[in-house]
Amino acid sequence: MATDRLCYMRVRGLRVLEDARLDLVGLTVLIGENGTGKSSILEALEILRRVAASANSLQELYGIHGGVPQLLRSGAQRLVFEVGASGGTGPLVYEISFARVGDQLAIESERLDQGPVGDEPGPLHVLERVSGTTRVFDTAQRKLVDVRIPPDRPLLSSFGVLPPQPAIARMVSLLSRIRVHVPFDTTPPWISQDARRQRTPMRTSVVVEPAEGVTRLGANLANAWMRLRNEHDEAHWRDTMEYVRLGLGPDVESVQLRPDPGGGNIGLQVKFARVREPVPAHSLSDGMLAYLAFVALCRQGEEASLFAFDEPETHLHPLLLVRVLQMLDELAERRPVVLATHSDRLLDALAEPAAAAVLCELAGDRSTRLLRPDPAALGTWMERFRGIGHLRSEGYERQVFPTGAGS
């Protein structure tokens, strides 16, 4: 059976995203000036994750995402998210619409359709919410039947771990495993102490606990490395250490976990060949620590359905950034990876810039347009420039991103 994979997202009414569709194929790199919608696209992915992972996602639109004032485009009356997936036992399309009711948002409509399967004549309507009525497809009766779901709860995430239709479980699995990251928090100890804030978890010992992957900001980095060491075979570990050496140098002997004398906590440290004692995380540079987080994330990224990163270049030397991009490119062979960047060095290092780069720009009404490069024009300009980053820095990006070449 083919593996399910997210293939596109469409967003309407979210800030500058009046109506924007982004195809999710391999590696996607969002570029553009500040305020053109790159971060809003990443936030839309996070909202979709919450819709699938939490029955309280409507409340989270307020407590976490700011509700109507922070989310809704000026003049818009609804916020709509649509996502498509392929593979499995047929394509899936899920859509949820939040309507403005005064200063609040309410779930207006919701649907999940599964494409034709076998001898089925057309798409199967699996979930449907419209005009206050919620229905789900009953396999035995071969029709939609009414179900009682509170109006403030997404229908998709209201059935627990055993939904009544396999297509629901497929879409919940895909959306709930989206991982959206911002730059890792590598704040040095002297900064955190001076600001009288809590010490940075990436640099200190943390409580030993299970780790499915690297969490946002990298707070569980030591536990993520513990899993890499203990839950994979020796061949996987040797390959992981080769990735570390490619970035941090050939004299890295190992990445180690240091248990606290009192027990229950572990800290990360790196052993270098010509240094007697291992270097603890609190003494590593910001870039070294961020690179170790990227290695851990990419080496155990099988649990996620999609990875998104805002400004992955943060803290990284240009050569180290290229190593990270190579790892992300490998990861994108198995699942979509979306990056939002201002780094010309990252753009110049893209293996397939025509397929990866997406320019976010504002139209006259301040709505986002997503533009792909024209391959023929890009090929001509690349004879004179190192890459899209070099081309952009010289002011020629509009020569290869024609209006109408949308995503």
Quote the CA–CA distance of 235 and 239 in Å, as a whole number: 6
Residue 70 has a pLDDT of 92
Greater model confidence, 195 or 336: 336
CA 299 to chain centre: 16
pLDDT band (50, 70, 90) for residue 407:
low
- For residue 101, with 0-12 CB atoms within 10 Å meaning exposed, 13-18 middle and 19 or more buried, which class applies? exposed
pLDDT tens across 128-153, in order?
999 889 999 988 888 899 999 999 99
pLDDT at 58: 87
pLDDT band at 84; cut points 50, 70, 90: very high
In this structure, are residues 88 and 170 in contact, taking their beta carbons and an 8 Å threshold? yes
47 vs 79: CA distance, rounded Å? 11
The string of pLDDT tens digits covering residues 22-36 is 999 999 999 999 999
Determine the pLDDT at residue 386. 92
User: What is the percentage of the chain residues whose pLDDT exceeds 90?
Assistant: 79
d(CA 165, CA 147): 13
Looking at residue 190, what is its pLDDT?
A: 78
Task: Tell me the pLDDT tens digit for each residue of 278-294.
Answer: 999 999 999 999 999 99
Three-state SS at 62: helix
**pLDDT tens digit string along 194-249?**
655 677 899 999 999 999 889 999 999 999 999 999 999 999 999 999 999 999 99
Residue 403 pLDDT: 76
Q: Assign 350 to helix, strand or coil.
A: coil
If we measure between CA atoms, which residue out of 62, 37, 57 comes closest to residue 46?
Answer: 57
Q: Which of 115-129, 177-191, 218-232, 338-352 comes out lowest in average pLDDT?
A: 115-129
Weakest mean pLDDT among 97-106, 258-267, 368-377: 258-267
Diameter of the chain measured on Cα atoms = 71
Distance, CA of 81 to CA of 178 (rounded, Å): 15
Q: What are phi and psi of 156, to 5 degrees?
A: -60, -40
How far apart (Å, rounded) are the C-alpha atoms in residues 205 and 139? 51
- pTM tops 0.85, yes or no: yes
Q: What is the pLDDT of residue 348?
A: 96
User: What would the pLDDT profile of 12-63 be if each residue is shown by its tens digit?
Assistant: 999 999 999 999 999 999 999 999 999 999 999 999 999 999 888 888 888 8
| Packing angle, helices 318-331 and 286-299, rounded to 10 | 10
**pLDDT score recorded for residue 358:** 97
Choose the weakest-confidence range: 116-130, 222-236, 251-265, 357-371.
116-130
The reported pLDDT for the residue numbered 55 is 80
Query: Is CATH 3.40.50.300 the right assignment for the domain spanning 1-177+304-407?
Result: yes
Q: Given this model, what pLDDT does residue 1 score?
A: 42
Secondary structure of residue 324 in the 3-state scheme: helix
Cα–Cα–Cα angle for 261, 248, 185, rounded to 5 degrees:
60
Q: Can you give the pLDDT at residue 320?
A: 96
Residue 296, pLDDT above cutoff 50: yes
Question: What pLDDT is stored for residue 179 in this prediction?
Answer: 96
Report the distance separating Cα 44 and Cα 32, nearest Å: 18
Residues of the chain with CATH 3.40.50.300: 1-177+304-407
